[in-house]
């Protein structure tokens, strides 16, 4: 379904460790919005919901809802650190267009 790089796994695990509330994993969603038609959002998650796909890697759980699954099939999630910005990067083979912010696709 999706691939998480080693850097993404480390960043998600760090976020889970620092979280003020206990969380079982991380949720990735693709929904309407953003400057190119769809946008990605991520957040800590405590439970899975009906229809979720659960991706497990190195003891980490990533949840994805049924509506996001077709948009994210084959996607690679990475975490990059640069001089001016750091954050998650989504390489999605389903995206026809990407915006310059890297958080939105069409």
Quick one: average pLDDT of 46-60?
92
* 53 part of a folded domain: yes
Please identify which residue in the block is written with the tokens 């915006």: 99
According to the model, what pLDDT value does residue 40 have? 87
- Give me the CATH number covering residue 55: 2.60.300.12
pTM: predicted TM-score of the whole model, two decimal places: 0.81
pLDDT tens for residues 76-93?
999 999 888 889 988 888
* 100 part of a folded domain: no
- d(Cα 76, Cα 59) in Å, to the nearest integer? 18
According to the model, what pLDDT value does residue 34 have? 63
pLDDT tens for residues 58-76?
999 999 999 999 988 999 9
* 96 part of a folded domain: no
Could you tell me the end-to-end alpha-carbon distance of the chain, in angstroms, rounded to an integer?
A: 19
Whether 9 shows a pLDDT value over 90: the answer reads yes
- d(Cα 74, Cα 84) in Å, to the nearest integer? 28
* 26 part of a folded domain: yes
* 69 part of a folded domain: yes
Domain extent, residue 61, equals: 3-91
* 83 part of a folded domain: yes
* 101 part of a folded domain: no
Q: How many structural domains does the chain have? A: 1
88 in Cβ contact with 104 (< 8 Å): no
Lowest mean pLDDT among 21-35, 40-54, 77-91: 21-35
64 in Cβ contact with 55 (< 8 Å): yes
Q: What is the mean pLDDT of the chain?
A: 86
């Amino acid at each position: 379904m999706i691939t998480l790089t080693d850097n993404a796994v480390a960043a998600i695990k760090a976020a889970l460790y620092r979280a003020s509330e206990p969380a079982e994993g991380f949720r990735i969603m693709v929904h309407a919005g953003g400057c190119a038609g769809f946008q990605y959002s991520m957040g800590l998650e405590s439970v899975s919901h009906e229809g979720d796909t659960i991706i497990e890697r190195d003891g980490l759980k990533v949840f994805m809802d049924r509506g996001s699954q077709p948009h994210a099939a084959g996607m690679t999630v990475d975490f990059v650190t640069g001089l001016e910005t750091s954050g998650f990067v989504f390489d999605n083979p389903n995206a026809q267009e990407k915006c310059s912010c890297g958080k939105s696709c069409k």
